[in-house]
Chain A
């Protein structure tokens, strides 16, 4: 401790900027980690809380994914001996039509029994309306709002509110306002209650419910009740406590969470290089100080602990800063995830409060400090090995020894060979991931040698371009491989991340576009909601004939899609008239014969599954699937595996008749319309809108609009990762600033000589700029190389472990073309301040500097 105060503190005080840059590396790394995970956790927490609050005293919920089920299930549930109370529920998310208020979660409940599960504590309104459910039922336009929402929107009892329903915008009368507390905090307070049967009509549910909430008889346990209901209803329905929905939601976010995890890890890894770089430089610069300490009797262990202590303190300060900054950015990230969830998954969610668990904060603090200590281990070991006699002599210690070169080369060769062997052997995921880690480690080990070799190759070119500035810049890189390589390695890692994500994005785009070209080829799409992924409002099937009768329409295909729980994972069921789709959007299966696949599926003798579902659930052609449904478990063989991007967790495609048979549900989510040749699309669109004006809420999208929407959603999915990429690049730039700051200190005398013999300020600046640009070039070359390898691994991970999507390897040339000037410009920006500090110092002091 005394050494930290006597030796370390004055050093940090003398090198304030470098200390700040070092700490900033950890701040950013930890902030990204905390921000991303806190946002993720907050959204999950908000969802669970919404589920929890809405559930009230519900002990068991009976659901069929989000598909819902017919009313008769309710009677069966109510007949169970262990059930005290069972009430139907419908949930729908509707547009409030109020600026800035977004969506409202409407809960359709049956007031006759519901109050034994949920408290509707009104602070205004007519008690008798609520006390007497019949009055509430008699007025189907009744709605109850929360106090928060009413206050925000300036609404009071007996006011009217216009909400989007399947019948178009409808006026509802506010019959009561709930006191704050309990259920009212669900969905951030944007909650409304209405009668379940009114909700069926308003949201086009036919005679179905979304779920049944159950209270268990005092004499029975929850487990007993679950068993009784399972026996009564069969295996096609989910019978579980309300918390099960949270788990499904979490499963849906799994792909996203994994990407967040990988990016956070990279950010920390890059931060680690900044720390390593700083400490490696510090050890070199403080050699004589270490020599004096050793000469005065300090043991090697004391020197090692001195540097490890410094790194722990740096890590602690950086981590605390990172926690604060992370919590700050978490709110923005949570909002983005909310938008993503509603646009990509159709699950509306609001995380109004960003809260982080103490465990996460403690983990982040621990990771930040550990990262810092691990990064400083090698420099600390080198410091401990300093020979006091050598250290007190002047000289250069930035160079790598031949022994170290050889060791690095051998280890890199072993790592590279190991990575190739792991790929060749294949088999388990452990082998694959071991190979991935070995490839990255090999790249890191070999990077200093490659950086030096490249810098040596660049010297003649730089000298030819600028005889003095170019040669000196290249020499600076060559003379200090440690200083150079850590920055280059940080840049290399961040670029490898960028290339992999960009490549993945490009491959995804290419695949999605391919899929859209074949599967989404109707001229128009008719939807009950502006967002095609919101499935809470549905059309009646009778519209199919009405649309077919619209002049100019040649063919109508009704699509019913719903997320169900298959093997404990939420997957999408898409039900269509397969025979009709086979004629208009015929797809070549990845496995199976197209004719046979369509014939069997349309005849109700088989199912089609998406490639990603087959991959994630290890399904194969011909295998009999067991798909749970409210009216029995569907047992049909897989007739074909097709590429389909309807859902990230996978899709099961079946014929409409099979769906209706097993779900007793003939409602429709979207209609696909093909027009007669030569009929103007705008005319048909207008006809449809006029046909349903004031009668039904109808949105008509053209093919181009739908495709643009899907691509926009894809963009959003990659949007958050680009934020992380920006952070990774920022951290790498910090590394360049750090390196240049040290480089200028090291070369103070050299730069002084240059000025003494006639170097103008502009020429000195150019030397620094060229050095920075050279670091940028080295980072680019190595980063793009490692990126090409990283992309391969990431695509494999996506295919095997995340989304099951089979993506074609394609190097993201366009992104790289944009990346080259971006990185060079960033490197140049990073060099501006160091270059200015280089030309503004005292020349006399510089010439005396040792």
Chain B
């Protein structure tokens, strides 16, 4: 299998009154179609790792490659295009736009790519039906439960059928039952769509449900387990 995500000696330091090393020379390869969980205590660098892989941030040193493309060399807009075409994000706090309906939220990445309105509409309906929210198309986020909001966020992440899905604590803001449902949904979609899924989590049950788990501590990989 070929690596879809590669990190080569990646470090991230935050300058301030006191320098903070969030990631310290991390090297890592994730194969296409893998489902990987990243665990570690607070401040271990999990979210920083996810932000760098997702092109939301740039490393202080080292190289991040997505599908073989080195992110460090890209301009801001080119980086955005990588996110737009290859990555779907699922956030802990959903990050849905409060003024847009479910249909509009899911269609957002497609509109940004300049898709025709009808096609955007068809795809958004299809995905919302897939996450079992076909009956909530025109509802605003504030009219939905936490689980439903996360489903909309998942549908949005899937809207472009991205090869990579990055999830930052996707169940962190949900109750246990809803969290399990969401996780089942992610696993199901992973199975059906074959995307590479990287999940950052605190929850060991979530981590253990993934075939591979990488543990971080003080910005370094301390464990990489395949099941």
Contacts and interface: CB of A to CB of B under 8 A. Distances in A.
A261 interface: no
A297 interface: no
B89 A468 contact: no
Chain A contact surface mostly? helix
A757 B84 contact: yes
A756 B112 contact: no
A756 B108 CA distance: 11
B83 interface: yes
Interface in B40-94: 51, 54, 56-57, 76-77, 80-81, 83-85, 89, 91
Contact of A761 (B76, B91, B120): B76
Given A467-B117, A847-B91, A847-B95, A757 B57 contact: no
A754 interface: yes
A752 B99 CA distance: 15
Contact of B83 (A475, A757, A763): A757
Contacts of A756: 54, 56, 83, 89, 95
Nearest to A466: B111
Given A758-B112, A844-B56, A472 B99 contact: yes
A472 B56 contact: no
A472 B97 CA distance: 9
Contacts of B91: 847
Contacts of B83: 756-758
Interface in B94-142: 95-100, 104, 107-109, 111-113, 117, 120
A540 to B, nearest CB: 82
Interface string A750-766: 10111111111111000
B151 interface: no
A132 to B, nearest CB: 90
A844 B56 CA distance: 6
A144 B70 CA distance: 88
A134 to B, nearest CB: 92
B56 A758 contact: no
Contact of B108 (A468, A752, A761): A468
B76 A478 contact: no
A557 B72 CA distance: 88
Given A468-B108, A468-B111, A759 B80 contact: yes
Contacts, number: 72
A749 interface: yes
Contact of B84 (A471, A753, A758): A758
Nearest to B166: A756
B32 to A, nearest CB: 21
A755 B80 contact: yes
A669 to B, nearest CB: 70
B52 to A, nearest CB: 10
A722 interface: no
B113 A758 contact: yes
Interface string A472-505: 1001101100000000000000000000000000
B220 to A, nearest CB: 20
B156 interface: yes
Contact of B104 (A471, A752, A758, A842): A471
B100 A757 contact: no
Contacts of A441: none
A763 B95 contact: no
A843 interface: yes
Contacts of A475: 97, 99-100
A551 B48 CA distance: 98
B91 to A, nearest CB: 7
B99 A468 contact: no
B147 to A, nearest CB: 20
Given A468-B112, A479-B99, A847-B95, A757 B156 contact: yes
Contacts of B85: 758
Chain B contact surface mostly? helix
B57 A844 contact: yes
B51 A758 contact: no
Contacts of A762: 77
Interface residue tally on B, bucketed by range? 20 to 34
A760 B77 contact: yes
A760 B156 CA distance: 17
Contacts of B98: 479, 750
Most interface-central of A478, A750, A754, A758 (chain B CB within 10 A) = A758
A457 to B, nearest CB: 16
B56 A847 contact: yes
B76 to A, nearest CB: 6
Nearest to B117: A467
Nearest to B56: A843
A471 B98 CA distance: 12
B55 to A, nearest CB: 9
Contact of A758 (B57, B80, B96, B97): B80
A754 B98 CA distance: 12
Contacts of B96: 753
Given A759-B80, A843-B57, A753 B95 contact: yes
Contacts of B76: 761
Most interface-central of A472, A479, A754, A756 (chain B CB within 10 A) = A756
A757 B117 CA distance: 18
Contacts of A476: 99
A749 B95 CA distance: 8
B125 to A, nearest CB: 16
Contacts of B156: 757
Most interface-central of A752, A754, A762 (chain B CB within 10 A) = A754
A760 B80 contact: yes
Interface in B169-220: none
A842 B120 CA distance: 29
A753 B97 contact: yes
A675 B32 CA distance: 99
Nearest to A478: B99
Given A844-B51, A844-B56, A754 B108 contact: yes
Given A758-B84, A843-B57, A471 B100 contact: yes
Most interface-central of B54, B84, B97 (chain A CB within 10 A) = B97
Nearest to A475: B99
Contacts of A847: 56, 91, 95
Interface in A724-766: 749-750, 752-763
B89 A750 contact: no
Contact of A467 (B56, B57, B77, B111): B111
Nearest to B54: A756
Interface string A431-468: 00000000000000000000000000000000000011
A761 B78 CA distance: 10
A648 B89 CA distance: 72
A764 to B, nearest CB: 10
A471 B101 CA distance: 11
Contacts of B95: 749, 752-753, 756, 847
A762 B111 CA distance: 14
Complex A-B, nearest 5 residue pairs according to Cβ-Cβ distance, in ascending order: A758-B84, A475-B99, A467-B111, A757-B109, A753-B95
11 contacts: A472-B99, A754-B108, A756-B54, A756-B56, A756-B83, A756-B95, A757-B109, A761-B76, A761-B77, A762-B77, A844-B51
Given A467-B117, A755-B80, A759-B112, 5 more contacts: A467-B120, A479-B99, A752-B95, A756-B83, A758-B83
Interface of B: 51, 54, 56-57, 76-77, 80-81, 83-85, 89, 91, 95-100, 104, 107-109, 111-113, 117, 120, 156, 160
